[in-house]
Chain A
Amino acid sequence: AQSVTQLGSHVSVSEGALVLLRCNYSSSVPPYLFWYVQYPNQGLQLLLKYTTGATLVKGINGFEAEFKKSETSFHLTKPSAHMSDAAEYFCAVRGAGNMLTFGGGTRLMVKP
């Protein structure tokens, strides 16, 4: 079985500041990891994914994430927050059975 923990259900940053959204996972098999973004009353959009290979993954809108096996983490970062980044972010792991397990989500607020 797999699980995902997102530390911090709400994160607030100032425009231009670093964004760091935390994700820790557990998986009984080598994981595939995903970050999705959801804007209000909309579906989820893929930001980036890690499958194999390079542990630093770059995604859309300037986001990136680093897979750290020793820490079972896949934290999402962006060097400089923009107002349009305000949304809810979900980390997900695909483990045994090919099903996605989602974290509880982190709502990012960006202050002007």
Chain B
Amino acid sequence: DGGITQSPKYLFRKEGQNVTLSCEQNLNHDAMYWYRQDPGQGLRLIYYSQIVNDFQKGDIAEGYSVSREKKESFPLTVTSAQKNPTAFYLCASSISGQGVEEQYFGPGTRLTVT
């Protein structure tokens, strides 16, 4: 089955620790995205990548970093510089990042930092 996997589903960390969220897709999509979801605020774009070895900052990139070494993988690192990291994180992909194609979403990772 083609799709997007995110692991783990729930993640707990202590304040001050970096944490990496996994996102893998087998849809052969070129573009991948990371969103943060907070109650009542919809989804906000953190980073996106339209091709391997290239990525751009979204609206709320501060305190986050990404890499895109393989087409299938787009891991997100939440660093200790992120002031309020507790949130639901969603990864998505689309065919090319151009045109009218929709984005396909993974099941999400809920990160809790205490």
A residues at B contact (CB < 8 Å)? 4, 9, 32, 34, 36, 41-46, 49, 51, 90, 94, 98-100, 102-105
Contacts and interface: CB of A to CB of B under 8 A. Distances in A.
Interface of B: 4, 6, 9, 40-45, 48, 58, 88, 90, 92, 97-100, 102-108, 110
Contacts, number: 51
Contacts of B9: 41
Nearest to B105: A43
Contacts of B105: 36, 43-45
7 contacts: A9-B40, A41-B88, A44-B92, A44-B105, A46-B102, A100-B43, A104-B41
Contacts of B97: 98
Given A32-B100, A34-B102, A94-B100, A42 B42 contact: no
Contacts of A46: 102, 104
B91 to A, nearest CB: 8
Contacts of A4: 42
A19 B9 CA distance: 31
Listed residue (B44, B58, B108) with the most chain A CB atoms within 10 angstroms of its CB: B108
Nearest to B103: A100
A100 B92 CA distance: 11
